[in-house]
Chain A
């Protein structure tokens, strides 16, 4: 069978529960042109090579913006084009190339300091126990709505410095804006309109919040990004020797939205996919319960086996000869990370879930200059969540397998994961 329509099948929601057999077919031709001109890269070596290739751009991804008249001339002719132009120039750094990417990412890395991330472990543990405590008296829960969703959004809000009373609103925005990272949903007109509305709301909210952080600095990421301060030095007593570089408000809003969406949706999927995978293999669930020290290895294997981000789309800015084909300039390039993770040329017995796998250099966090900024945070959140769930849930069972999935093929994960259990242990 030719590979030219396989990616269409990957995008098909009917194949969401198990796209891996399609990946195996795709890997027969490591770089395969699809009928729409997209090139899908499905093998580990080729993906690893392209994430560090200067011919691969993250900017100006083909985004079929369809212009729709609202009927208001001022909106159509002035407000919207200007807003679109501003937004185009101030994309978050995940959609930027060097040198802009490096400047913005550098500032975020500084604010996202290891110490600040480390401190979130305790907060995450408290939140986790609070959420599990609410399971008391129930015989069944939806892990997604009752646990996986609320946990990361609260963590990222605390890190950013969003007041607790605004968190529920943030959760709604995060869910809507995640579709902006979904290549197969971006084109949808209704989704686009909703995204635009949502982006306007969150921008207005963040603009006010940033102004507040400038007036009353606090120990959080938004404060540091808004004021050019270093973590733990929000008062600015010790200005950075390199000069206090700051982001302008447009870049800052775009960055905050990125951190919210990327720090949220992905972690929801990591936790949910992990529980699903472990309950399908109860011996691993029991092992984790009896030996929490296995958690880090188990999570690395999860990032290989069921990565929360299945693929990223990039753009070839020059011809790229690779694996016997030439990706032509201007072609969209799909880096199918989840397939590279199952490449038998890189991983022995790749379809086996094996936390004891040596040399597990998976592509779960991507690679190259766009390697996940939030990887250390994601590892902490997943570890705390899984260890607590394994310890406290008594005899958990999957109610529905496979569970219903959300529509996204890239940020792939269950929409609901119903679990039955026989009660919870004390915290």
Chain B
């Protein structure tokens, strides 16, 4: 088997049929790939969109069928409901759970993540205990919401937890949100803005429990009846959603030689899979939530970015690089991470990486008005910009972040309060 560049591909296999997989497939066709294209998905559904699941779908406004549009020129074969179970880089084949073997000339790994299960399997299997990742999860949970639960307990201080809490309040369902480390949304927004969103949640009637941890779940006849906290307090609830993060789908890569672990599948800035020793694995590419790569916007630190925008951008970069011949240059994936969240009637947007910031400044509007742009600084440079209901200036700050502009980069702008540098 040669390790050098191979000829133009005839068969491209995409393992993972969600946003990244479908985006890559579309991009491959748009770039002129005319060969055989196969997408493998572990879920029985055609590629669908996840952001509405925790919001409109859960609230009953959208059907759980959030199937993503597919262009007529896609002409792809879908192998749905059958997860991949093994990769053989030497033979250039992927084996599926049903035993069938698919050969490839180029492979894209876009297997994403699944919801992190509740650590106690007995409690996790109780009727009334949920996680939320798939459209089937959302359909089941939405039905339970419709039935009018007495109280929902949410575990986890991330965006899923907050969005589900917001949906509960929209439906007038009593809800307790338990944030174990006491710092809501801190990983994404930092303590200051995360705390602000926590306050807003409380104002909208969320029973926010900072520092609360579950000692045990209480049940009767296999049905959840409530939770007992470490401090002994009991919360009566018939539904619990564990929104405690995600696990990357890498188990099928065991023995493949790829550097894949709970942190993701390692690849370079051109989406090419690499081995633990740093060698490039020929013709294998990685994109989406499962990918971990040296991010140029974080000093080449290895990061995985679990956001919608990154999944698309990285898939498109991977697609171009899968088709790049010796004469065409490779496309560097240098997407600046961004995300949005809608909750409690607010639109929160962030561009850049706020994690690790050492300072914060509100540059438009005000926190009190809940309408603002805030910048994050790190070692004197602007690294991220967050907005609530004022996203229109974000493109200007995105440009500043890309240029490594000083912090804060823009003073004296319109609608700008007197600048005060705070802890993030």
Residues of chain A touching chain B, judged by Cβ–Cβ distance below 8 Å, are 49, 52-57, 59, 97-99, 317-318, 329, 368-369
8 contacts between A and B (CB under 8 A): A49-B396, A49-B399, A52-B392, A54-B413, A55-B396, A57-B414, A317-B414, A329-B412
Chain B nearest CB, measured from A358 CB (Å): 14
Given A318-B410, A318-B411, residue A54 in contact with residue B395 (CB < 8 A): no
B396–A52 contact, CB under 8 A? yes
Complex alpha-carbon distance, A59 and B413, angstroms: 12
Given the complex, which residues of A lie within 8 Å of B396, measured CB to CB? 49, 52-55
Chain B: interface size category: 10 to 19
Complex alpha-carbon distance, A42 and B124, angstroms: 61
Encode B224-241 as 1/0 by CB contact (under 8 A) with A. Answer: 000000000000000000
A49–B415 contact, CB under 8 A? no
Given the complex, which residues of B lie within 8 Å of A55, measured CB to CB? 396, 410, 412-414
Chain B nearest CB, measured from A371 CB (Å): 11
Whether a CB of chain A sits under 8 angstroms from the CB of B416 is yes
Whether a CB of chain A sits under 8 angstroms from the CB of B55 is no
**Residue in contact with B392 in the complex, picked from A317, A329, A368, CB distance below 8 Å:** A368
A49–B412 contact, CB under 8 A? no
16 additional contacts (CB under 8 A) given A56-B414, A317-B412: A52-B396, A53-B393, A54-B393, A54-B396, A54-B410, A54-B413, A54-B415, A55-B396, A55-B410, A55-B413, A55-B414, A59-B414, A98-B414, A98-B415, A317-B414, A368-B392
Complex alpha-carbon distance, A98 and B369, angstroms: 14
Given A49-B399, A54-B364, residue A318 in contact with residue B392 (CB < 8 A): no
Chain A nearest CB, measured from B407 CB (Å): 15
Given the complex, which residues of B lie within 8 Å of A317, measured CB to CB? 412-414
Given the complex, which residues of A lie within 8 Å of B416, measured CB to CB? 54
Interface residues of B in 376-424 (CB under 8 A from A): 392-393, 395-396, 399, 410-416
Complex alpha-carbon distance, A368 and B395, angstroms: 11
A318–B413 contact, CB under 8 A? yes
Given the complex, which residues of B lie within 8 Å of A49, measured CB to CB? 395-396, 399
**Residue in contact with A97 in the complex, picked from B399, B412, B415, CB distance below 8 Å:** B415
Given the complex, which residues of B lie within 8 Å of A54, measured CB to CB? 363-364, 393, 396, 410, 413-416
Chain A nearest CB, measured from B401 CB (Å): 14
Complex alpha-carbon distance, A1 and B414, angstroms: 36
Chain B nearest CB, measured from A70 CB (Å): 35
Complex alpha-carbon distance, A329 and B410, angstroms: 11
Given the complex, which residues of B lie within 8 Å of A56, measured CB to CB? 414
Complex alpha-carbon distance, A98 and B364, angstroms: 10
Chain B nearest CB, measured from A106 CB (Å): 13
- Tell me the nearest residue of chain A to B415, going by C-beta: A98
Chain B nearest CB, measured from A66 CB (Å): 27
Residue among B363, B364, B414 having the largest count of chain A Cβ atoms under 10 Å: B414
- Tell me the nearest residue of chain B to A329, going by C-beta: B412
Chain A nearest CB, measured from B6 CB (Å): 34
**Residue in contact with B393 in the complex, picked from A52, A99, A318, A329, CB distance below 8 Å:** A52
